[in-house]
C-alpha cells in the first residue's frame, strides 16, 4: 500500500539531510527501535519491537538508505529512499520510503511516498488497520525527527 | 492453531483480579467472552504470559437503572442486552445496535465490556457510547475511576484502561422523551466487520422542532467519531430531508477513513454520508410517532 504525506521541518535542507542520514537519529526516531548497528555504507542491521495492544512482535532485518540525490543547488529537491526489510514470527514488513526534501526559505518541506508491504499472519488479521497503523508510525517517525532537529538547532 | 503457553487463573472476585493485575500488569490479558482474544491467541499474534479468565467472577453481569442511567456490568453478554426488557424500553438504541454485532453465537459469548475494552475500530458499541455520552467505570488499586466515552478510546484497539485496571461497568443515559434513534451499518456479508456504521438519536421539542441530535460513527477512523459539526448544524435547523442531506455532507467532510481490501477510503466516506442520512430519517420517523402519541394523550387527557 502507498502511504503519502508531507512534513515540515523547521530548519534548512542541509540540516534535515544530515539528520536523516544519521543512524543514531534513525534509531531514536523509529518507534520501537531496539537496535540499529551499521553494516556497510548506508546499511544497518535493525531490531524493532512494535505492536498494538496485545499483538506485539519483534522484527529483525535491514535498514538501507539508497538513491541519494543531493543537488548543490537549493532550487532542486534532494531525494533519498529508505529501504526497510524486516521479518518476525508474526510476518514481514518491506518498505521503500521515498522522500523528497525541498528548501522553502528557513524551513524544509519533506514529501514522502512510502510503499509499504506487509505479509504473514499479521497482515491477515490486521488488514483493516494496516494503512492507518503505517500512517501513524510514519507520522511518529517524522514527528520525532522534527524534535531532534529542533534540539540540534538549539544546541547550535 | 494452538496458543502459546500461558499461566491460567480463574479468580472469583474483582479484588482477586486486581491482585493478579498488580502482580502481572502488562504480561497478563483478561479473558471475557473471548470472541476477539481467542483468535489472536490461537494465531499466536498475542502471547501473554498470563491469562486471567473473568467468567467465574461474581457480580459483573447485570442490567439495572439508577437515576435515569442504565448500568450494565462489563461481563453482561450481548445476547442478554439484546433480550433485556429494560434495555428495550429505556434505551432501545442499544438493543438495535447489539442485534447487529456478529452472529448469534458471537452474541451468546461476547460481552459488552470485552467488546468495548477491545476497541475494534469497526465495532458497533463504541459509536453508541460516544453518541450517548456514556461513562466507563474502571476499577484499579486506588478505587473506581469514571471516564467519559469521549476520552476512553485512544487508538486502534487501545483505550485509557491502565494495566492495573479492569472495566467493571458502563453507563448510558435512558433515552429522553420524544427521542427517535437508529443504528445502521453496512458490511459485505452479514456479521462481517462494518465498512461504516452510524449511531443516531434525535429528540424533538414539544412543538416538533429539533431539541437535540447526536451522531456517532464507527469504521471511519482509528477511534469512534462524534460528528460534532453535523450535530451543530442539525441543532439549528428544521428536522427535514434537506437538513439531513446537509448533515450527511458535513459527516463526509469530517471523516478520513482508510482503504483496505473491503472498501476504498472514498467508498467509506460516501457510505458514512448515506448511512447518516438514512439514520436521521429513521430517527425522525420514530421521534414523530412518539410526539404524536404524546399529543394524543394530552388531548385525550383534556377531553377526559
Could you give the ipTM of this predicted complex?
0.79
Look at residue B223 in the predicted model and tell me its pLDDT.
Answer: 96
Look at residue A125 in the predicted model and tell me its pLDDT.
Answer: 80
The pTM (predicted TM-score) of the whole model is 0.90
Taking an 8 Å cut-off on Cβ atoms, the answer to whether B259 and A131 are in contact is: yes
Closest CB to B157 among A53, A89, A90: A53
Look at residue A80 in the predicted model and tell me its pLDDT.
Answer: 95
Which of A100-104, A139-143, B199-203, B299-303 is predicted with the least confidence, judged by mean pLDDT? Answer: B299-303
Residue B212, Cβ neighbours under 10 Å: how many? 15
Taking an 8 Å cut-off on Cβ atoms, the answer to whether A128 and B46 are in contact is: no
Taking an 8 Å cut-off on Cβ atoms, the answer to whether B48 and A89 are in contact is: no
From chain A, pick out residues whose CB is under 8 angstroms from the CB of B193. Answer: 128
Mean pLDDT of B279-283: 98
Q: Is pLDDT at B303 greater than 70 in this prediction?
A: no
Report the DSSP pairing between strands A33-38 and A91-104: unpaired
CA distance B5 to chain A (A): 15
Helix axes A130-155, A13-20, angle to 10 degrees: 120
> N- to C-terminal Cα distance for chain A?
39
Taking an 8 Å cut-off on Cβ atoms, the answer to whether B222 and A54 are in contact is: no
Mean pLDDT of B9-28: 96
Look at residue B4 in the predicted model and tell me its pLDDT.
Answer: 94
Residue B17, Cβ neighbours under 10 Å: how many? 23
Look at residue B118 in the predicted model and tell me its pLDDT.
Answer: 96
Helix axes B228-236, B241-254, angle to 10 degrees: 160
Report the DSSP pairing between strands B50-53 and B7-9: parallel
Look at residue A50 in the predicted model and tell me its pLDDT.
Answer: 87
In percent, the amount of chain A with pLDDT more than 90 equals 66
Nearest CA in chain B to A131: B258
- Rounded to an integer, what distance in angstroms lies between the CA atom of residue B112 and that of residue B103? 15
Q: What is the pLDDT of residues B120-154, one digit of tens each?
A: 999 999 999 999 999 999 999 999 999 999 999 99
Taking an 8 Å cut-off on Cβ atoms, the answer to whether A52 and B46 are in contact is: no
Look at residue A127 in the predicted model and tell me its pLDDT.
Answer: 82
B7 pLDDT tier (thresholds 50, 70, 90):
very high
What backbone phi and psi angles, to 5 degrees, belong to B139?
Answer: -105, 130
B304 pLDDT tier (thresholds 50, 70, 90):
low
Average pLDDT score over chain A:
91
Q: What is the pLDDT of residues B166-217, one digit of tens each?
A: 999 999 999 999 999 999 999 988 888 999 999 999 999 999 999 999 999 9
Taking an 8 Å cut-off on Cβ atoms, the answer to whether B260 and A54 are in contact is: no
Q: Is pLDDT at B225 greater than 90 in this prediction?
A: yes
Residues 124-143 of A with CB under 8 A from B: 124-125, 127-133, 135-136
CA distance B258 to chain A (A): 6
Which residues on adjacent β-strands are paired with residue A111?
A6, A100
Decide if B29 touches A, using CB distance below 8 A.
yes
Taking an 8 Å cut-off on Cβ atoms, the answer to whether A128 and B39 are in contact is: no
From chain B, pick out residues whose CB is under 8 angstroms from the CB of A128. Answer: 121-122, 193, 260, 262
Kindly state the DSSP code that residue B260 receives in the 8-state scheme. B
Nearest CA in chain B to A90: B45
Q: Is pLDDT at B1 greater than 80 in this prediction?
A: no
Look at residue B126 in the predicted model and tell me its pLDDT.
Answer: 98
CA-nearest of A69, A93, A67, A70 to A82 is A67
Look at residue B233 in the predicted model and tell me its pLDDT.
Answer: 97
Amino acid at each position: 500500500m502507498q502511504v503519502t504525506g508531507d512534513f515540515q521541518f523547521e530548519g534548512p535542507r542541509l540540516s534535515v539531510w544530515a539528520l536523516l542520514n544519521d543512524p543514531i537519529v534513525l534509531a531514536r526516531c523509529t518507534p520501537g527501535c531496539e537496535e540499529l548497528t551499521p553494516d556497510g555504507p548506508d546499511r544497518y542491521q535493525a531490531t524493532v519491537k512494535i505492536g498494538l495492544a496485545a499483538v506485539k512482535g519483534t522484527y529483525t532485518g535491514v535498514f538501507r538508505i539508497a538513491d541519494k540525490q543531493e543537488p548543490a543547488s537549493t532550487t532542486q529537491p534532494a531525494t533519498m529512499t529508505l529501504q526497510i526489510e524486516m521479518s518476525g514470527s508474526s510476518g514481514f514488513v518491506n518498505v521503500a520510503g521515498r522522500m523528497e526534501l525541498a528548501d522553502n526559505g528557513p524551513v524544509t518541506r519533506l514529501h514522502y511516498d512510502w510503499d509499504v508491504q506487509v505479509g504473514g499472519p499479521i497482515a491477515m488479521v490486521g488488514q483493516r488497520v494496516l494503512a492507518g497503523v503505517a500512517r501513524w508510525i510514519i507520522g511518529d517517525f517524522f514527528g520525532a525527527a522534527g524534535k531532534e532537529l529542533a534540539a540540534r538547532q538549539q544546541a547550535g | 492453531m494452538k496458543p502459546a503457553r500461558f499461566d491460567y487463573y480463574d479468580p472469583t472476585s474483582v479484588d482477586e483480579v486486581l491482585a493478579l493485575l498488580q502482580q502481572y500488569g502488562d504480561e497478563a490479558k483478561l479473558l471475557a467472552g473471548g470472541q476477539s482474544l481467542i483468535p489472536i491467541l490461537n494465531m499466536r499474534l498475542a502471547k501473554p504470559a498470563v491469562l486471567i479468565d473473568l467468567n467465574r467472577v461474581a457480580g459483573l453481569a447485570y442490567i439495572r437503572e439508577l437515576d435515569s442511567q442504565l448500568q450494565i456490568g462489563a461481563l453482561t453478554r450481548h445476547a442478554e442486552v439484546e433480550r433485556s426488557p429494560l434495555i428495550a424500553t429505556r434505551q432501545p438504541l442499544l438493543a438495535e445496535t447489539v442485534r447487529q454485532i456478529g452472529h448469534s453465537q458471537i452474541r451468546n459469548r461476547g460481552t459488552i465490556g470485552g467488546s468495548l475494552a477491545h476497541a475494534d475500530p469497526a465495532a458497533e458499541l463504541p459509536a453508541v457510547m460516544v453518541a450517548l455520552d456514556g461513562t466507563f467505570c474502571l476499577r484499579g488499586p486506588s478505587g473506581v475511576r469514571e471516564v467519559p466515552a469521549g476520552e476512553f478510546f485512544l487508538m486502534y484497539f487501545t483505550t485509557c484502561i491502565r494495566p492495573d485496571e479492569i472495566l467493571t461497568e458502563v453507563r448510558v443515559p435512558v433515552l429522553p422523551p420524544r427521542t427517535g434513534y437508529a443504528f445502521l451499518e453496512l458490511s459485505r456479508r452479514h456479521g462481517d466487520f462494518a465498512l461504516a456504521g452510524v449511531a443516531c438519536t434525535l429528540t424533538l421539542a414539544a412543538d416538533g422542532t429539533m431539541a437535540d441530535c447526536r451522531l456517532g460513527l464507527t469504521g471511519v477512523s482509528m477511534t469512534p467519531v462524534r460528528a460534532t459539526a453535523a450535530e451543530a448544524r442539525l441543532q439549528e435547523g428544521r428536522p427535514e430531508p434537506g437538513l439531513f442531506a446537509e448533515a450527511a455532507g458535513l459527516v463526509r467532510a469530517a471523516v478520513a477513513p482508510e482503504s483496505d481490501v473491503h472498501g476504498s477510503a472514498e467508498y467509506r466516506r460516501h457510505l458514512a454520508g448515506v448511512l447518516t442520512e438514512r439514520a436521521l430519517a429513521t430517527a425522525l420517523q420514530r421521534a414523530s410517532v412518539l410526539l404524536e402519541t404524546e399529543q394524543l394523550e394530552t388531548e385525550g387527557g383534556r377531553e377526559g
